[in-house]
Chain A
Amino acid sequence: MKDWREDKTFFRATIALPVIWFFIFFVIPMAIVWAYSVGENVGPVDVAITGTFANYAKAFAPEVLKVMGDSIWLAALTTLICLVVAFPVALAMTFADDKQKTWLLLLIMLPFWTNLLIRTYALIAVMRTSGVINTGLEGLHGLLMTVGLPLGSFEPLPLLYNKFAVVVGLVYVHLPFMVLPLYAALDRLDKSLIEASLDLGAGHLETIRRVIVPLAAPGIAAGLVITFIPALGAYLTPDLLGGPDDLMIASLIERQFKRANDWPFGAALSFILMYITLLFFAVRAFLERKGGKVGAH
């Protein structure tokens, strides 16, 4: 009997369904969107595929470039904050015992299983003018007034509908994307390397800088890319938490398909977003090949 691994019929039978699925639900829609991106509006609902690059050219208009620049900047800031917050969390998790690890991982994963809309509205409830934070501050303010501090009247902090709110929301949503790859990389790290560093006279910070970070570099690179890409394409969070000036690229795309009714331009923007994403994947692959010599055995 032939080994099933060499049996071509078996291979085709198992691969057929995913390939068909991938084709119908990914390749064809993408092709349609791409076709739209080189088309023109000829009526309220009709698009003629004319092969024009005018839609792509429109993306270089200053106001569109600003949105793209803002998107990249906000996503980059989000990624950086995620790294700074997630690194100690992931490191601490690797030192927990096995039972605690399961619970900590569950806590990190839990938001994933909650609807994004619910989480975002919860964040609004916390941050709005009459929200948890401002109410708490007002209470504190009142208390300080009664003990005689001359503070003046209470001004609620403008926490919502600005770039601050967008970054807070993006960090909140994307933190697990950073924690998990970092945790995976740090957990694989031989703990005796850390002990060896301490034993040789290095302090904790020196050990992190000279041993842990270099060895976790592939995990850090993975975390940066995996966090940055969805943050760059984030739609709901900036849309709900940002103000009118804090548009990100996904909201701009949405507007083309809906309010502006300019499907060709929306399609072109979608592809530009995808090209940027692919660029970052390429950067990651490059970094990995460079880092692979160090990290892997």
Chain B
Amino acid sequence: MSDRDTIIRVEEVTKRYGKVTAVDRVTLEIPRGEFFALLGPSGCGKTTLLRMLAGFEMPTEGKIFIDGVDMSSIPPNKRPVNMVFQSYAVFPHMTVFENVAYGLKFDNVPKSEQYGRVMAALADVKLDHLAERKPDQMSGGQRQRVALARALVKKPKVLLLDEPLSALDAKLREAMRFELAELQDKVGITFVMVTHDQDEALAMACRCAVMDRGKLMQTATPSNLYEFPANKFVADFIGSVNLFEGTLQVDLPDHAIVHSEELGGQIYFDHGVSGASGEKMWVGIRPEKIELLKREEGSNPPTPEDAPPGCNVAAGTIRQISYLGSESIYEIDLINDRRMQVSRPNLSRWDQEDFTWGDDVWLRWHGDSPVLLQS
């Protein structure tokens, strides 16, 4: 059943520390050459899972295969994976060159070949001019590059990255995102990255696994995670979302309607959903998928473009505005005091002046905007 192009297979892996279950029956496959992200809040088990891939922790139950080989009895120093540590863990008593050459000694690479490989790895991370430096004379970003080169020089089958960008300042972090993605493209090695930062994961990874309290919530491409979240946790964790509890009222193959007390109205889906009529469910609507319209006192609700009258609209008043330059985020109180978030791109240089604090507004959205979520 092992696919030739699967580099990592995690089978029903559970890790318990005493009574605490850090990783709970996780099953996962990562194809060769992919940039994969393990994403989740702190304490969700993502780092434990990464450390089990590296061999620093052993699964309590389940098995991990790397390139088809069962890793159960293989110690960290014999695994075809290398890790970039969160603290970088660059050896302070060695020069950059010695750091990168360190791992080659144990691969029986002849001395004559070592120099070339180390310098090539340093060139890959643009550090070849600093080979003789000591780590304490380098910045955090440079030390991270040393850690990267030190791992990549061993040509591992998988490179593990533990929160690679968390210790860098904002500008450098942004730059490193692109650089890491480019580097991965160049070396063609499978990258598995752990991060709690959803932007980072979405920006860099081909696919992400979202974890919560030890359980795997969803594994999907970044856009699928955002647009088709499998459940309430994923919808809430990835980006912003307005969540409403409701009851499924109409469930037909081509459309569905959920009635939500919280919203004080109907939510229309222009596609069929799976669920039993009368069932309680959660609906999520992303802030940028809601349109803002001015509301005059006593006016009728605007007609939705692709939904029956009275559906997919709500009345409210603007309470807060965050002007972020490229877009503005509006916090809107609905009539029944429920708060909703709407974001609006500032397409022209005057768009942010369309609405101000205290304005009465209509909120309107399309029939394909809401997503039905499992709780």
Contacts and interface: CB of A to CB of B under 8 A. Distances in A.
Contact of A193 (B54, B55, B75, B91): B91
A9 interface: no
A32 interface: no
A295 B134 CA distance: 12
B89 to A, nearest CB: 4
Nearest to B108: A201
B93 interface: yes
A203 B77 contact: yes
A249 to B, nearest CB: 37
A251 interface: no
Contacts of B93: 214-215, 294-295
B154 interface: yes
A190 B87 CA distance: 9
A197 interface: yes
Interface string B44-84: 00000000001110000000000000000001111001110
B85 A196 contact: yes
Q: Which of A199, A202, A206, A210 has the most CB of B within 10 A?
A: A199
Given A200-B150, A201-B154, A297-B136, A195 B106 contact: no
A200 B91 CA distance: 12
Nearest to A293: B134
Contacts of B102: 197, 200, 202, 210
Contacts of A206: 106
Interface string A204-229: 00100011001100000000000000
B154 A198 contact: no
A192 interface: yes
A196 B78 CA distance: 13
Contacts of A195: 54, 56, 76, 83, 85, 89
Given A199-B54, A201-B154, A193 B106 contact: no
Interface string A281-297: 00000000000001101
A195 B136 CA distance: 20
A210 B102 CA distance: 9
A192 B150 CA distance: 14
B89 A201 contact: no
A196 B154 CA distance: 13
B137 to A, nearest CB: 11
B309 interface: no
Contacts of B151: 199-200
B89 A198 contact: no
A199 B156 CA distance: 11
A201 B75 contact: no
B92 to A, nearest CB: 7
Contacts of B77: 198-203
Nearest to A297: B136
B91 A201 contact: no
Nearest to B76: A198
B113 interface: no
Contacts of B169: none
Contacts of B76: 195, 198-199
Given A201-B154, A202-B77, A297-B136, A196 B91 contact: yes
A196 B103 CA distance: 10
Nearest to A294: B93
B81 to A, nearest CB: 8
Nearest to B75: A198
A141 to B, nearest CB: 44
Contacts of B150: 196, 200
B92 A200 contact: no
A192 B136 contact: no
The list of the 8 closest CB pairs from A to B, nearest first, reads A201-B106, A200-B103, A196-B89, A192-B89, A198-B76, A192-B85, A294-B93, A214-B93
Given A190-B89, A196-B150, A297-B136, 15 more contacts: A195-B56, A196-B89, A196-B147, A197-B91, A198-B55, A198-B75, A199-B55, A200-B151, A200-B154, A201-B77, A202-B103, A202-B105, A203-B106, A210-B102, A295-B93
